[in-house]
Amino acid sequence: WLPERAQDLQTCDFWAAQLDGEDPAIGARRVQPETDRAGDVVVTVSVADADVSARLVTSSVPTPHLLAVAAARTLTRWRQHRGQDPRPPLLALETHGRADGIVADADTSDTVGLLTAIYPLRVQSSQDLAAIPGDGIDYGLLRYLRPDTGSRLRGYREPQLLLNFLGRIHVGLDGGVLRPDRTLLAGVSPLPEPELAVRHELTIVAAVLGTSDAPVLAAQWRTLPDILSADDVVILQSLWQESLREVVS
């Protein structure tokens, strides 16, 4: 049904409008997927404080929406810090890709393996995420499964910041094995292949860890050190924490 859906979609203008316009470099250079490889990526972790984490997961606004707004505000503040134009920031948002609700009779609950969708969005408020066509999967269909729209969308550069929210990872009954531990998040990159092309200048992978009584938002930061230095990442993480506090206040 995916190729058929791609042919029927009328949302290419929406996605082109997201990608169109200025997107000033956030680092020392733009990423080069032809030569930049995941094996060179540096990974660090930041952890939100308990109050912010609790407010995030109990908010009436979906956590992914709040995180997207926080990422956008982080990017805006970073550009202000660099003396750049802080126009509505362009993000790449990665989701689980199980958009069962847009296709009748589709049920991916018993599928094995990772389903994912990545789409571009200029974010100013959580309302921007409510306007996304087709739960975000339409962008990939138009770009990869339809020649006319694919040619148009490939003419734009990728967003520089990718945000991926993994959701809430619960602790098992024994307090352990069903969640990644913070040391693992801090010390090991889950990038699957050292020769995988790097397509974004900065990737933030966030997850809510811990129990329902004590949730902790952890975020893994992935970048190439000649694009964003260690000092740059420290500043960005500080701006992220500031933005998180702001979106839950």
Given this model, what pLDDT does residue 224 score? 98
Given this model, what pLDDT does residue 8 score? 87
Spatial neighbors of 62 by CB under 8 A, at least 6 apart, are 126, 129
Domain locations in the chain as residue ranges:
35-127+155-248
Given this model, what pLDDT does residue 113 score? 46
> CA 196, 18, 77: angle at the middle one, nearest 5?
80
Residue showing tokens 């962008």: 139
Would you give per-residue pLDDT tens digits along the chain (249 residues)? 677 888 889 999 999 999 999 999 999 999 999 999 999 999 999 999 999 999 999 999 999 999 999 999 999 999 999 999 888 999 999 987 555 555 555 555 555 445 689 999 999 888 888 889 888 899 999 999 999 999 999 999 999 999 999 988 764 434 443 344 454 454 445 566 889 999 999 999 999 988 778 899 999 999 999 999 999 999 999 999 999 999 999
Token pair of 16, please?
């082109």
pTM, two decimals, is 0.87
Given this model, what pLDDT does residue 212 score? 78
Closest CA to 12 of 187, 157, 153: 153
Q: Which amino acid is at 241?
A: Q
Spatial neighbors of 165 by CB under 8 A, at least 6 apart, are 63, 64, 67, 95, 206, 207
User: What architecture (CATH level 2) is domain 35-127+155-248?
Assistant: 2-Layer Sandwich (3.30)
Strand 161-168, strand 202-209: pairing: parallel
Q: Which alpha helices (DSSP H) does the chain contain, by range?
A: 2-8, 12-19, 50-58, 63-81, 127-130, 137-144, 147-153, 182-187, 230-248
